[in-house]
Amino acid sequence: MQSLTCIAMATCIPAGSGTLQFRVTNCKGNSCRKTALASDAPIARFLQKDLSWSKAVSKVPQTHRCAFSAPPFQKNQKLFKVISSCKVDGPTRCFDFSVIGSGIAGLCYALEVAKYGSVAVITKAESHECNTNYAQGGVSAVLCPSDSVESHMKDTIVAGAYLCDEESVRVVCTEGPERVRELIAMGASFDHGEDGNLHLMREGGHSHHRIVHAADMTGKEIERALLKAVINNPNIFVFEHHFAIDLLTCQDGSDINCLGVDTLNTKTLEVIRFLSKVTLLASGGAGHIYPKTTNPLVATGDGIAMAHRAQAVISNMEFVQFHPTALADEGLPIKPTKLRAKAFLISEAVRGDGGILYNLDMERFMPFYDERAELAPRDVVARSIDDQLKKRGEKYVLLDISHKPKEEILSHFPNISSTCLLHGLDITRHPIPVVPAAHYMCGGVQAGLQGETNVKGLYVAGEVACTGLHGANRLASNSLLEALVFARRAVQPSVDCMKSSGLDMTASNLWPRPAVPLSLESNVTDKILPMTKESRTELQAIMWNYVGIVRSTMRLETAKQKISNLEAKWEECLFQHGWKPTMAGPEICEMRNLFCCAKLVISSALSRHESRGLHYTVDFPHLEESKRLPTIIVPSSTVNSTWSSRQLHKQPMYQDGIKLCHNTIHINR
């Protein structure tokens, strides 16, 4: 495993060099805000009293060295638009901005920065295949006179188990309403009531009706509107089926600079290098480190893993949100004919609209766990369901909305009702079988209030980022809101960075290119790919069985060892069959990223010696005020690190011929 320094609650964890590094955090009010990093030195000397946690990221480089239409486009519709400001040199593309990901964060950002330069939107599959497209519930925002920013903030902080960064919460709750209005102005169509005003839903953890929605297909409607605007924008290129392999980074003293990304065109198997003055990571989460997830297949933690390998700071990875109510296929009258690639989500809005949870004896159980019952935050509901299943030895519980008027159910939840009906279940008459499934990463690449990271030229937004908004548990429908707000906040600093940067096409030669394994014989790949698929299944099983909703130190340590052994076995098999460390293939790269993210989750979970929000451990079952601090992972020495934790290329430094100053690249010829 790569040498990690995982810092939580002033807990010291040895790095590979033997140096102890730790983060000291002071908490005020309802948020963790002030931090400083120290190494083998007295704590008090390094405490910076005026440093906000959400802004501390810029200091880190000094501390480490090392009517809904299903797909929005026809298949023959051209997505590659060429404009004069895009420089093309064979397998190299040069842009002002590169955006990795085509969800709400990436597209909103692209539309704004396109006003100032050329933009490449790089997406792993089709443009619409992202977590945004599958978001059912909606966007939370204060749009009702009886609601208030303060109320939304309080709900967010309470749901986040008081680990939220208060400044980040205030920014999102204050700026959110305007971002929603901009979506509407762009053409997103949300539901309205009979009075002509927006129809606002209420979901678990919210004290008011504040969820803007488009029936139960909100994400699809937002994605449709954004993609329509993007495809009509002459300054934006969309590159579909381009798998991001690794960020292109250079080191200048203590500064790490991002200058683009290497990708693999999975249709042509050609490595395409994108050089850019600014890069935005908006690649989503890592739901597929678990076997049961509501995330699409593309959610394999690519952005988090790439950023970690590029020495970006990672935060709060132990907080994996399990959505309480994914459709349980075992309880359907007509079972699916094959295993689902992703679990079908039963929206939070069903409970918000009056849905009641029962065990299989039709006994309502949520009031016994929490006074808020079905409207408790997701972490509470998921743990309650998990407890019921374990105590009763059952595979699912029931969510009943059938007591509501039929017309209301069908109008509010057309997608859910039609999907269930395909499997012989009429939700207007019968309860829905549900079970928890991995849903959302509250942790990710640590970001400041403008989406900045400790890597110069690299910004993050959406699920890949950890902005401090969610704390230890995300409030329902705050994810799309966060993506909107931080995508917009990242625009101005990105433009400033772009304007101060110069980019020479000869910089493309500074990094060796990843190799496509065309030289391997078919019988070799026939062995490697099934072995990789088996390793992926085994990794997911380990994470589900040992790093799930309820954890223990022994089980986390067991998972750590099992995954270490599995990864070593997988790498050994790869290299024995002729695979080279510089080679790239989609299945292999995904496996690298899954291993990387799984290890980050486990390292973070082991460092938190309390139960808070989504992290519940039987060894430390109580919430400890003294430990109300974010978990920070800073990459340390890469000596003895595994392949999944290293970049494919050797990172060039100043002596290799690069002079970096204010993110301007000068090539010594």
How long, in residues, is the chain? 669
CB 433 within 8 Å of CB 235: no
Tokens of 474: 């995300």
Cα torsion for 265, 271, 272, 277, to the nearest 10°? 120
Compute the distance between CA of residue 378 and CA of residue 476 in angstroms, rounded to an integer. 8
Q: Is 378 a catalytic residue?
A: yes
Give 535-589 as a DSSP string: HHHHHHHHHHHHSSSEE-HHHHHHHHHHHHHHHHHHHHHHHHTT--TTB--HHHH
Tokens of 519: 């030289």
Look at strands 139-140 and 211-212 and give their pairing. antiparallel
Q: Output b/e per residue, 478-511; b: 16+ Cβ within 10 A.
A: bbbbbbbbbbbbbbebbbebbeebebeeebbebb
Tokens of 77: 């519709």
CB 126 within 8 Å of CB 72: no
Which of 23, 170, 351, 378 does the annotation list as catalytic?
378
Compute the distance between CA of residue 273 and CA of residue 244 in angstroms, rounded to an integer. 10
Look at strands 397-400 and 356-358 and give their pairing. antiparallel
Nearest CA to 382 out of 204, 511, 206 is that of 204
* 68 CB-near residues (< 8 Å, 6+ apart): 214, 215, 217, 220, 221, 224
CB 177 within 8 Å of CB 142: yes
Nearest CA to 216 out of 138, 132, 279 is that of 138
Compute the distance between CA of residue 117 and CA of residue 214 in angstroms, rounded to an integer. 33
Compute the distance between CA of residue 431 and CA of residue 400 in angstroms, rounded to an integer. 4
Compute the distance between CA of residue 550 and CA of residue 617 in angstroms, rounded to an integer. 6
Q: Cα 242 from chain centroid?
A: 18
Look at strands 270-281 and 458-460 and give their pairing. parallel
CB 594 within 8 Å of CB 547: no
The secondary element (H helix, E strand) that includes residue 664 is strand 664-667
Q: Is 100 helix (H, G, I), strand (E, B) or coil?
A: strand
Give 587-627 as a DSSP string: HHHHHHHHHHHHHHHHHHHHH--S-BTTBEETTS-S--GGG
**Residues identified as active-site:** 378
